[in-house]
Amino acid sequence: MKAGLSQVETALNRSILIRALVTVVALLLVMPVAVAQTGTPGAVAQPAAETTPAIEVELRQTIRKLQTIRKALEERREQVRNLLEQLEAADELDKKKIGEQISELQLRIRELSESFEKIAVDGISLRSLVDTAEPEFDWREELVQIAQPVLDSLKDATAKPRRIAQLRTSMELHEQQLKVAAKAIESLAQLEQEEIPPSVADGLDKVATSWRQRHEEIRHALEASRDELRFLETEKSQVFETLGAGVYEFILGRGLTLLLALLAGVFLWYVMRMLRRLANIRQRSSRGGAYAAQTRLLLYGYHLLTIVLVALTILSVFYARGDVLLLSLAIIALIMLALSVWRFLPGYILEVRLLLNAGTAREGERLIYNELPFRLTALSLYSELRNPELEGVVRLPLAALAQLTSRPDTGESWFPCRSGDYLLLPNGDFAQVLEQTVELVRLKVVGSIVQFAAADFLQLNPRNLSREGFAVIVVFGIDYQHQDIALDRVPQRFRTAVEEAFGKAGFGDDLKSLLVEFKAANSSSLDYLVYATMDGNSAGSYFALGRLIQQTCVAVCEEEGWIIPFAQLTVHRAEAASSENASAN
């Protein structure tokens, strides 16, 4: 009963949590609209700022500038009318010259008009907001149209700094032109002080008048540029005052759009992941063969479908919110990703073949990696390689696995030894394996620890005494005077004694076979071959077994009264004599 109540409470809590999330999302969607509706009347109802003495002084200066420019405009227009009247009675040569003067005056009239307008509206311009005519359709340009919102945003962000730089460059040019015009006027003034003919004086008057007009126009243009620059720098100094409003606008606009897109993408990813888990629970079984390959293909196809759906969901949120900039950036990112995928498409096809277990390396087969044999136990994005005889696992990405080739396992040995085995190394050293991994092999040799790289150890080709067993070979000789019993009694007696000695020493169960035969008639002895085949459990006593056989054969000779050849006795007696002398000293 308590378990049922806890389940009901859990379901109610989940239902309340889901309803709260839906309410929060709805409020986030409605908030920008409410702010926009409530913000407009507030903007209209703002009270007009009071006029201060400083503003009145600035307004009077502006009016004087406008009067000066207006007067200059009327003078230029009057000059154009006079030139048009002269144009009718002039010859062909004068007509061309008068036409050039009229064009120059019209250009100056246009500049003065623009300066008049700029000063009148305090430097404000609608140039960046004027709609331009749509160009003719060109399919080559359509490929880059998607980036236009990004470029427009960058252009708007840098419009004011670029305009300030243009104004400063223009002011420097006007200042240089003023200096040149001032020098020209000064030169003309010096000529006017001299006595000159009336015809020349008329021409000088016209030139002087023209240069004075130019000087005045340049001065007006310089003042207009200074006023506009002052206005832009004033706006620039007020940027921190509008920072809070900008942050608030971002939170309710683009920031909210990003948040909604993120929530929608994470929610869809979570739903797809839960569906995959439910499918895995219902279809959980042992993988093998074609079923495993199909499962892997479906799994990665499902991952690809999840990525596509999440991307479409994010794009849909940007589209529904009407944020062209974020939508363009997202599409550009997807296009770049698609181009990169197309570039590496051959490699992806090869990896898909591996996932389908149809490539050069197949699951469950044997392959060579870093000069060591491995079994491909798990085929995935990061495949697993294992050696049954070595500790550890090697994980390879599909790109690295594609460079390897596997073959079916035919029951071959994976490594020449295991941990705890006893070995005979090529140099004759007797060693015990302490640890062996996919990277290194640690041995105990004569009480010391020796370490080899796994691949280097494999090249040593050591003799393993523990895996398949081993044999102990001893050659023992007796004197020629026992020749009459050398072929029957002596071998049988040695064999029985060795078997009894092995049983007493605890090696009876490990003795697989024992061979005692006459080997050869040597120059001073009749030699016998004792060949004992042992189980690998006795590998740690490899040298002790050889000594045990020697001891047993000597004991048999003592019991039976068989003589050991003179050469051997001489050696033993010499050793005994030397030991006696050493003890006496």
Q: What is the Rg, in whole angstroms, of the alpha carbon atoms belonging to the chain?
A: 52
Helix axes 148-157, 324-343, angle to 10 degrees: 130
Q: Rounded to an integer, what distance in angstroms lies between the CA atom of residue 421 and that of residue 234?
A: 88
- pLDDT, the chain, mean: 75
Write the pLDDT tens digit of every residue in 78-137: 888 888 888 777 777 777 788 888 888 888 888 888 777 777 665 555 554 444 455 565
Strand-pairing partners, residue 488, are: none
Range with lowest mean pLDDT among 8-12, 276-280, 331-335, 371-375: 8-12
Alpha-carbon gap, residue 70 to 243, rounded angstroms: 39
Per-residue pLDDT tens digits for 484-534: 888 889 999 999 999 999 999 888 888 989 999 999 988 888 999 999 999
Residue 327: CB atoms within 10 A of its CB come to 20
Task: Please state the pTM of the whole predicted model.
Answer: 0.46
Is residue 394 within 8 Å of residue 374, measured between CB atoms?
yes
Q: Which residues pair with residue 366 across a beta bridge?
A: 375, 407
Instruction: For residue 354, name the pLDDT band (cuts at 50, 70, 90).
Output: confident
What is the band of 17 on the pLDDT scale with cuts at 50, 70, 90? very low
Question: Model confidence at 242, in pLDDT bands (50, 70, 90)?
Answer: low
Domains delineated in the chain: 58-125+157-242 (no CATH), 245-343 (no CATH), 354-407 (2.30.30), 422-464 (no CATH), 470-584 (3.30.70.100)
Strands across the sheet containing 430-436:
448-453, 440-445, 430-436, 422-424, 463-464
Is 80 exceeded by the pLDDT of residue 49?
A: no
pLDDT in tens, 440-462: 999 998 888 989 998 888 888 88
Q: Label residue 286 exposed, middle or buried (CB < 10 Å: 0-12, 13-18, 19+).
A: exposed
Render pLDDT for 185-231 as a digit per residue (tens, 0 to 9). Answer: 887 777 666 666 675 666 667 777 878 888 888 888 888 888 877 77
**Could you tell me if 470 and 536 are in contact, meaning their C-beta atoms sit under 8 angstroms apart?**
yes
Q: What is the pLDDT of residue 575?
A: 39
What is the pLDDT averaged over residues 255-277? 86
